[in-house]
Structure 1
Amino acid sequence: MSTEMYDVRSKYINKFTRGLIFMAGDAVALLLATVFAFIILAPFSGGERAFPVGYSLLFAGSVLAGLMIFRMYLVTWRYVSLREMVRIVNGVGVGAILAVLTGNLIWNISNFEFAFTALAALIAIQFIGGFRISKRVLMELLIQSPRKQMKHTIIYGAESEGDQILRDILRNKQMKLSVHGVFDDRAIPGLFLHETRILGGMQTMYDYLRNQPVEALIVAYPEMPKKDLKAMIDHVKSIRPGIEIKILPSFHSLSDDPVGVHHIRDISIEDILGREPVSLDMDMISESITDKTVMVTGAGGSIGSELVRQCAKLKPATLIALDVDETELFHVENELRKIGTEIVPCVASVTDYRKMDLIMGSVQPDVIFHAAAYKHVPMMESFPEEAIKVNVGGTQTLAELACRHLVKKFVMVSTDKAVNPTNVMGATKRAAEEVCMSYNDTCLTKFISVRFGNVLGSRGSVVPIFMEQIKNGGPVSVTDPKMKRYFMTIPEAVLLVMQAGSMGDGGEVFVLDMGEPVKITDMARDLIRLHGLEPDKDIQIVYSGLRPGEKLFEELLNAEEGVSDTQHREIFKAVCSRNMSKEELNYYIADIFNMIDAGQTELLREGLKKIVPTYSYKSELNGMGLTNKSQQEAM
């Protein structure tokens, strides 16, 4: 016999055995109920009366049949809940009625039997319910881990989410959590939630933290505004720096199954950024993706891979994931295959005109999300020619081929660094925006650019760098104490890019509402506290100074640009003035590529400035990190 057949047979035997145990226990409970009912009613029967053996057996059999109708012999003993108790009441009630009807046909029963049936049914509900809940009582109340080995835990949130999480904790003693109090400003102090007292609101919780050895806090309040959550976490950490904090995320990120302990997770920097979840018109986004052929360039990167994930959820006809990095592309394909989603991986460079022409001619995409780009600011200061080849040349190649192959929409991912750029990366992305605007209205394709700031957790961003530095014991290196940046989460940015792309008519540069800028120093301090450490005490913060091409503040609109509202409150439309015609733009781009071919990297910034007049740079910052003078000496 195979192992699988043995397992199936074992499960069947266990299921059958459990049902017989339940039935035997219920039969004993029913017979005891009839005995107790007779003892109670006998003094009021008006004379000597024998115990109704036949009717009692009929009652027990009828009730067992009623319980079978309500499937009470397929219930897990360990997790009997209020729903099962209701089914027990229904089953006993149906069985009692069946017993009365049958008994009346057989014996023509009297008022005594009616009263006997009603009282026996009430007693049976108690006995059967007690029998069914006995294992849960034993497991949850009697078999407990030693309290001293369990974490002193409190919960903030006393409504349905806190209720469910507390239930789970009481049920699963292996979690080693002992809840000593529940706090919520919305609840009445003094009440009990599953035998745990509601002690008060937020201020009472702070006092409790000062006076009690609390080891863990669970925030079961998914609707709490993020600014309030950040203020609460900061205060809690200032009182008890080493406390472990878990959080129940907003419901938009949860599945449809009931809330439980498995949903809580560690507090993260995303939770305390102060940004509220974005609102989306998923019908509009779905209409632009579902049953379409979609291509994502840069699919192995932080933004590109999330674009692939989000597009896959909307069931496109074909999803092409294109990237020059085969390793990252493999990881994305493998991740999606595990959840049953198929994509078409394609290893290619957006600068390879011939190969991109072959690919687009073969797959005929309806929509292109162009996320392939070099983005590392200091690195691109040393290698401006590479930034120009990919960010400008790659975009121009794709734009031309999109027109040739009748792509309906071309959505380019841009950056806030394209505004009044002080670095090559920003200037090349601004030039790429110009490319998209210049091709719009020249063919069927609608070209749209979407501009936003930094995303949390992307490769090369500050958060992973800070976390690695904290893990290594510090110090955390911040460029400048005054530096600020706009931040949003990767899924949030990607969904807004998709929203902007779905509502664009062509030629727009959309700007995402990035909220308030965040001081990088404050973010570093928050991350240190989230690790249970104290800034400047356990982990030092040092300042390294601005790197090549960096500026203290990023902008989302040029000084000469205006902005207009759209139908989405978090997406704005920049009023961008075209700096030159398509022919002029192509001429200047060709001139820059001639400089690259001639090895004249010291002239590239001047060439970029002709395309992007707002680009400002220091003349000593040129290719390979050399100054003009040193380059001339080297030549």
Structure 2
Amino acid sequence: MISGRTFQDYTSVMTASCFFFICCYEIVYGLMGMYDSLWRYAEIVEFFRLVCASVVSVGVFIVVSQLIFTEPHVPVSVYLLSALFATSLTLYSRLTYRMYRNVKLGQKRKKARRTLVIGAGDAASTLLHEKLKTPNSDMNIICCVDDDPKKVGRNIMGVAILGTTNDIPELVARCEIETILLAIPTLDEENKKRILQICSKTKCNLLILPDIVKIIADGEPLASRIRDVRVEDLLGRPEIVLSDFTTDLITDQVVMVTGGGGSIGSELCRQIAECGPRLLVIVDIYENNAYAIQQELRRRYGDRLNMEVRISSVRDSHKVNALFSKFRPSIVFHAAAHKHVPLMEDSPEEAVKNNVFGTYNVACAAEKYGAKRFVLISTDKAVNPTNVMGATKRLCEMIVQALAQKSSTTFVAVRFGNVLGSNGSVLPLFKEQIAAGGPLTVTHPDIVRYFMTIPEAVRLVLEAGAMGRGGEIFVLDMGKPVKILDLAENLIKLSGFIPYTDIDIKFTGLRPGEKLYEELLMDEEGLQKTDNQKIFIGAPIDLNKDTFFDHLAALKQIAYSNNSANLVQALIDLVPTFHHKPWQES
């Protein structure tokens, strides 16, 4: 009994109240969007909205029912208890569904790769949120590590933080980890290199999140931005950003790139296209490479980029002059060259014809047709060269310096070391050898080289080209030299194998003309700083331009007579620092 009344007295009003109670909930829930939410993706805010909608529903029901149902009145406590029961039932049913779904997903993830996440910050939290919502995730995140001691021993989204980055090898073994994900997009390059070197001690597949700026710019889910760790990441070199001065140099100018289809040349074309030239002229003798970069730039820029592609050899002075006469470039980047050291040892006359006199043809045409600036792409092998290729590139630098003494065109050279991933370089070779099951071939266990990524090298080339006043040899800071053996071992590890166990490394002995180490500066050139900390200037060497060009004419006759022995001797006479070593024992 309620207030002296029996339950039968309330039957009609209770029936009507239940109907009206359900209507209030349905209407308010509908107006507040509670039926539009996907509860498998529900967060805490969804549950808060549910409680708010229930309070509003109950409030409306109580107020209206007191006005409609006069006798007998149902006590307010009954309404409140009913509302509490309805809200709890709704909340628990939806929460149970989400928990059931997460359990099912957890069972599916047991089949995915066991993953350790490095970093327990915002990026890791967002990634874990996304992984809970992704039914077909290929990663089963087992644990995290973080170098913040306050986080160690705690949980992030239910995943334990078991240690610091120094504990990675131990955790990999203990937790049977298959994949390691570096999820700290704001990490500086030095610490990234340190952490990846720790990870490379394991057999795990290594993944990484890209720079935080790229993530924000793309606006895509974090999971879609995860990529494999590349050898370039182990270099630990920060990204170079072009200055406004460099951009202004290219913008609205006619720019020519010789060797534009090669590794360096094609990247030059990409970065020049971003600066908005009036016309980009790509010159290359190899039609497949020229076609590839042409199609790439057309897909990316369409009609926004005015571009001309010409198939031509820089050896053909008449064709070179015809191209300059037609297009009248104001900026010239000369990247066309033969670069393979052993091949040029076998065919020195081809190295001289292409490198030396190809440079001479393009440089003379630049001067003749009024180009403002000529930038030669040189190499560290031009410093105290021991091989024909290096000697020819040194001669190219001498041509640039000699022409700079008498020309209104600004002639400069930019010298740097090896670039990772360029055509014919050691990295693609190692990847092919790993794909074939090994062994990887290294010429000498102590051989070292300076390395730079292709985009980094090209950005610095553009910067140096913009700051040149004439005759300088710009030297790029290549960082610390890298042992080729370390590079080979790291690449094997990044591929998920164990060096010398799964894939062997064999030493083949130094090749003709190869040095154990490369020098970036000649002693007599000195070193001057520039505004860019990564670019230095070697002061021009005094040259007698009259006698130099006479000797160059004589060299040309020998080269076109195809007398290799006499040609090498002529190179030795013309390049004082050239000490030819046709073969070195390991």
Q: What interval of TM-score do these two structures reach, taking the shorter chain for normalisation? A: 0.7 to 0.9
**1:572/1:243 CA distance change after superposition, 3 Å:** same
Alignment of 1:358 onto 2:319 = no
Q: CA deviation at 1:449?
A: 0.9
Alignment of 1:473 onto 2:452 = no
Q: Which residue of 2 aligns with 1:37?
A: none
Q: Is the 8 A contact 2:207 2:226 kept in 1?
A: yes
Higher mean Cα deviation, 539-548 or 333-342? 333-342
**1:597/1:146 CA distance change after superposition, 3 Å:** closer
Residue of 505, 511, 514 corresponding to 1:541: 505
Q: Is the 8 A contact 2:349 2:563 kept in 1?
A: no
Q: Is the 8 A contact 2:377 2:413 kept in 1?
A: yes
Q: CA deviation at 1:519?
A: 1.2
Q: Which residue of 2 aligns with 1:199?
A: 162
**1:143/1:377 CA distance change after superposition, 3 Å:** closer
Amino acid in the other structure paired with 2:524: E
Residues 533-561 of structure 1: per-residue CA shift (max 9 Å, x gap): 22222322222222111111110100222
**1:529/1:94 CA distance change after superposition, 3 Å:** same
Higher mean Cα deviation, 461-470 or 595-604? 595-604
Query: Secondary structure in 2 aligned to 1:174?
Result: coil
Amino acid in the other structure paired with 1:193: I
Alignment of 1:516 onto 2:480 = yes
Q: CA deviation at 1:248?
A: 1.8
Alignment of 1:416 onto 2:380 = yes
Alignment of 1:286 onto 2:247 = yes
Q: Is the 8 A contact 2:189 2:238 kept in 1?
A: no
Q: Which residue of 2 aligns with 1:149?
A: 111
Higher mean Cα deviation, 495-504 or 276-285? 276-285
Aligned length, in residue pairs: 563
Residues 184-203 of structure 1: per-residue CA shift (max 9 Å, x gap): 01251233221212223223
**1:543/1:126 CA distance change after superposition, 3 Å:** same
Tell me, in whole angstroms, the C-alpha distance in 2 between the residues paired with 1:122 and 1:406: 86
Alignment of 1:298 onto 2:262 = no
**1:465/1:83 CA distance change after superposition, 3 Å:** farther
Residues 43-73 of structure 1: per-residue CA shift (max 9 Å, x gap): xxxxx999899998997798579658xxx99
Amino acid in the other structure paired with 1:200: G
Q: Which residue of 2 aligns with 1:504?
A: 468
Q: Which residue of 1 aligns with 2:74?
A: none
**1:243/1:619 CA distance change after superposition, 3 Å:** closer
Q: Which residue of 1 aligns with 2:134?
A: 172
Query: Secondary structure in 1 aligned to 2:125?
Result: helix
Q: CA deviation at 1:126?
A: 9.1
Q: Is the 8 A contact 1:189 1:200 kept in 2?
A: yes
Q: Which residue of 2 aligns with 1:318?
A: 279
Residues 413-472 of structure 1: per-residue CA shift (max 9 Å, x gap): 110001111111111111111112222253442112110000111111111112222222
Q: CA deviation at 1:157?
A: 0.8
**1:212/1:329 CA distance change after superposition, 3 Å:** same
Q: Is the 8 A contact 1:456 1:488 kept in 2?
A: yes
Amino acid in the other structure paired with 1:291: D
Map 1:380-459 onto structure 2 (within 5 A): 380-440=344-404, 442-459=406-423
**1:549/1:83 CA distance change after superposition, 3 Å:** farther
Map 1:230-379 onto structure 2 (within 5 A): 230-238=193-201, 241-251=202-212, 255-258=217-220, 260-273=222-235, 275-341=236-302, 343-379=307-343
**1:259/1:282 CA distance change after superposition, 3 Å:** farther
Amino acid in the other structure paired with 1:286: T
Q: CA deviation at 1:167?
A: 2.2
Q: Which residue of 2 aligns with 1:25?
A: none
After superposition, the CA RMSD in angstroms is 4.0
TM-score normalised over the length of structure 1: 0.77
Q: Which residue of 1 aligns with 2:8?
A: none
Q: Is the 8 A contact 1:403 1:444 kept in 2?
A: yes
Q: CA deviation at 1:260?
A: 0.9
Gaps of 5+ in 1: 1-47, 103-116, 622-635
**1:339/1:78 CA distance change after superposition, 3 Å:** farther
Tell me, in whole angstroms, the C-alpha distance in 1 between the residues paired with 2:576 and 2:47: 75
Q: CA deviation at 1:406?
A: 1.9
Higher mean Cα deviation, 326-335 or 206-215? 206-215
Tell me, in whole angstroms, the C-alpha distance in 2 between the residues paired with 1:457 and 1:374: 17
Higher mean Cα deviation, 307-316 or 478-487? 307-316
Q: CA deviation at 1:75?
A: 7.3
Residue of 157, 163, 172 corresponding to 1:209: 172
Residues 363-397 of structure 1: per-residue CA shift (max 9 Å, x gap): 22222111111100111111111111111111111
Q: Is the 8 A contact 1:297 1:369 kept in 2?
A: yes
Tell me, in whole angstroms, the C-alpha distance in 1 between the residues paired with 2:87 and 2:168: 41
**1:179/1:607 CA distance change after superposition, 3 Å:** same
Tell me, in whole angstroms, the C-alpha distance in 2 between the residues paired with 1:167 and 1:283: 40
TM-score normalised over the length of structure 2: 0.83
Amino acid in the other structure paired with 1:403: E
Alignment of 1:573 onto 2:537 = yes
Amino acid in the other structure paired with 2:393: K
Q: CA deviation at 1:278?
A: 3.6
Tell me, in whole angstroms, the C-alpha distance in 2 between the residues paired with 1:328 and 1:442: 35
Tell me, in whole angstroms, the C-alpha distance in 1 between the residues paired with 2:276 and 2:54: 49
Identity in percent: 38
Alignment of 1:492 onto 2:456 = yes
Query: Secondary structure in 1 aligned to 2:356?
Result: helix
Tell me, in whole angstroms, the C-alpha distance in 2 between the residues paired with 1:131 and 1:390: 77
